[in-house]
Amino acid sequence: MLFNSIEFLIFLPIVFILFWFVLNKSLRGQNILLILASYIFYGWWDWRFLSLIVISSILDFSLARGIEKSDTKARRKQLLWISILVNLGILGFFKYFNFFADSLEDLLGIMGMKADFITLEILLPVGISFYTFQTLSYTIDVYRKEIPASKDIFAFFAYVAFFPQLVAGPIERAKNFLPQFSKTKTFTYENGVDGMRQILWGLFKKVVIADNCAPFVDQIFADPSNYNSPILLLGAVLFAFQIYGDFSGYTDIALGTARLFGFTLMRNFAYPYFSRDIAEFWRRWHISLSSWFKDYLYFPLGGSRGSKNKTIRNVFAIFLVSGFWHGANWTFVIWGGLNALYFLPSLIMGNNRKNLDIVANDRRWASLVEVKDMAITFFLTCLAWIFFRAENVTSAFDYIIQIFNPRNVFTEGSAALQPTVWIVMFFIGLLIGVEWIQRREQHGLSIVPKSKLFRYFIYLGLTFLVMYHWGAEQEFIYFQF
């Protein structure tokens, strides 16, 4: 079920009414309702894949109990490895089987050896990377004795399958999120209103920004040879805002929906395109995944405690694995490696934690130096996004070469875009303006004018834009991961 669908507009009020007005005196009843609602929400795509969520939930609930009760470290480690291997095995089969088979076949072909591996038509379950990492972090934290194993199977199943963040995150840690399913909820008007505001802002980013960027991005990336350098660069910029509006829009809707039910999800985006260097960008983009790799890969590898060379190795490890997490394509691996290269200068010079606060935090406007740093960071990010969006590595390199080809700057006969692209650029400008004003806040509508008339004008204006641009339901980009 899509957030931007009529079905969800019907589904959400029904679950809300049952949660607060029918089961408000039963915590267990509320958790059971959330489990059933989440399974309906997820099963709307393909009910067969519900079995994977159930298996993952039963497996990690049972193994974590076993880890906690085990007397020996060897037994605890054995149970942990069962969880890791089974979870990653399921993820690897559905997401990477054909990738490894095709890559091995290509490698053997280069070596002059003929191979014909079986390629299966494997459907990728929506959100499998997200809930797999969420349950894995739970068993790892129980093994580390950072949290106790859950004894409430209904609370744990609701934690794994919680529908607002099930298919595209944020990837929640059990230490922060699981206890919320064991606490009695109290509905507050303030939480409800702010949740609705964040949902509205998320829908604006998805429907008005991302979905309107998509046709132009598809058109340009389908045949880059038809366009000159400025339009190709524009295509990269439009994709940067498409993926930001799409993914952060989903997150806003997820956080707002969770707040309607009395839950607090972690922030996943913090205005990343206002970053002044790549290190700051990755502290502000997909925060839940970045912190996951930091805690469960970077630190176990040694983090920054060893030599500079080992630190560089560890940085490359998390960026390359992060790229591979996104999809079974070498374009994602290169995207991760390119971001690691971007990160290296600040790491080597020791100023990778220079920009920890939001830009111009105590000022209205950024300085010229800050504007320059933000522009450079955004430009480098857009170049990396080309690999993320391209169908294959060759297409990505061809796209970039054409951008920097001096002969392609004013190519005669180059195809032109529809004039409506300027309307999209206006909406992007509106997005940037609002988020600059709200950059110290949690989301674009955190602070609203004191004038009730002006507030309703904003709400009605955004609602009108969303409804006007609400066309064919378009899936969120990160559903494929």
CB-based contact 238:424 (threshold 8 Å): yes
User: Within 111-150, where are the H helices?
Assistant: 128-143
Taken in order 381, 207, 364, 190, is the CA torsion positive or negative? negative
443 has catalytic annotation: no
Instruction: Identify the CA nearest to 176 among candidates 195, 162, 192.
Output: 162
Q: Give the pair of three-digit tokens for residue 405.
A: 């080809």
CB-based contact 1:41 (threshold 8 Å): yes
Q: Whole-angstrom Cα distance, residue 474 to residue 213?
A: 12
CB-based contact 139:160 (threshold 8 Å): no
Question: Which amino acid type is present at position 323?
Answer: G
Q: Whole-angstrom Cα distance, residue 234 to residue 65?
A: 53
Instruction: Identify the CA nearest to 475 among candidates 256, 249, 266.
Output: 249
What does DSSP assign to residue 466? H
**DSSP string covering 193-246:** HHHHHHHHHHHIIIIIIIHHHHHHHHHHHH-GGGS-HHHHHHHHHHHHHHHHHH
Active-site annotation holder among 286, 326, 443, 469 = 326
Contacts of 50 (CB under 8 A, 6+ apart): 39, 42, 43
SS3 445: coil
CB-based contact 142:262 (threshold 8 Å): no
* Residue for token pair 């829908």: 203
Q: Which sequence positions are flagged as catalytic?
A: 326
